[in-house]
Each structure stands twice: as C-alpha cells, then as structure tokens.
Amino acid sequence: MKTKILFILLAILPFLGGCSDNEDDIKELIVGKTWRLVGFYEKNDNEIHFTDDETIFNNNKDGFYLKFNQDSTFYGKGVKDAFNGKWKNENGYNLSMNITNESEDEELDIAIEYINAIKGAYSCRGTDENIMVIKYKSSQGDRYMLYRIK
C-alpha cells in the first residue's frame, strides 16, 4: 500500500508548484466523475497522511467524495453530512468552491477538515483522467487533497 501511495505522490510532484499561466480548462478533467479522497498532504511530504484516525476514513467508503456537474454545481459527502454548492474555474487551474448547503452535523475532525479544505480550495490539476489534486488554504498554509476516481 505504501508503495502505491508513494508512486501516486511521485506522479503528481510536477504539478505541486504554483499555478501556471496555462489556459487549460479543468472542466474536462473533473465534470461527470465521482472523486474519492485518498488523503491530505503538504508539498514537501513524501507520504499521504490523515489528520484523524485512518480507520475512520477507511470505514467510510461512501464518504469523502466529490462529484462535479456540467452546470457548475457539485455535491459531496464527509462522514455524516452530504453537501452541495457551486464551483467556478477561471484562468486555467484556478478553482473556487462555495458550499451552499451543509447540515454542519459533522463531529469528527477528519470530516470537518475535509469540508474546510473544500471551502479553501483555489487550484486543481490532474496527472491524468484518474487522479486529481486540489490545492487549498488552511491555517497551516497551503496543503493538498489527492483524489482518484471512485
């Protein structure tokens, strides 16, 4: 498992730099797919880590996902809460996500961090059509969420 995670991280390292002036539209990458969170990490980490008990993440196979729609809406789920909102892509890799409906019933730190990370999203890239990286602002600085097709 660690080898697989290390391989994924090595594959995405070229994309972890700042935003490019490239006008590529990420819409083709993200729309119409269901994305499952693999984990959180920082730019200089060599492994994906979870901020809470990894068992919580692994035991919630129907949680920690996002689905982006053509009409610029998205929906997703943490552990308990499903949420939805609007997403916007401008100027290449820039991504903003605004959650418009959440019940705020999440109690677990990892689920709360997940929702807060989505609210802080500002960049999105893919290494191919099966891997997506969302960069977000957190209280610890810039961090990343790694997703794969669910």
**What pLDDT, on a 0 to 100 scale, did the predictor assign at position 22?**
38
Going from the C-alpha of 8 to that of each of 2, 30, 47, 67, the distances in angstroms are 10, 18, 10, 21
pLDDT digits (tens, 9 = 90+) for 9-63: 444 444 444 333 333 468 888 999 999 998 888 776 666 665 445 677 777 788 8
Q: Which string of b and e fits 41-80 if b means at least 16 CB within 10 Å?
A: beeeeeebebbeeeebbeebeebbbbbbeeeeebbbbbbe
Contact between 93 and 26 under an 8 Å Cβ cutoff? The reply is: yes
pLDDT digits (tens, 9 = 90+) for 111-150: 888 889 999 999 998 878 889 999 999 888 889 999 999 8
pLDDT at 7 over 50: no
pLDDT digits (tens, 9 = 90+) for 52-78: 456 777 777 888 899 999 999 999 998
Question: Structural domain boundaries of the chain?
Answer: 2-149
Which class in CATH covers the domain with range 2-149?
A: mainly beta
Mean pLDDT of the chain: 78
109 or 76, which is more confident:
76
**What pLDDT, on a 0 to 100 scale, did the predictor assign at position 80?**
80
pLDDT level of residue 85 (50, 70, 90 thresholds): very high
Q: How many residues does the chain have?
A: 150
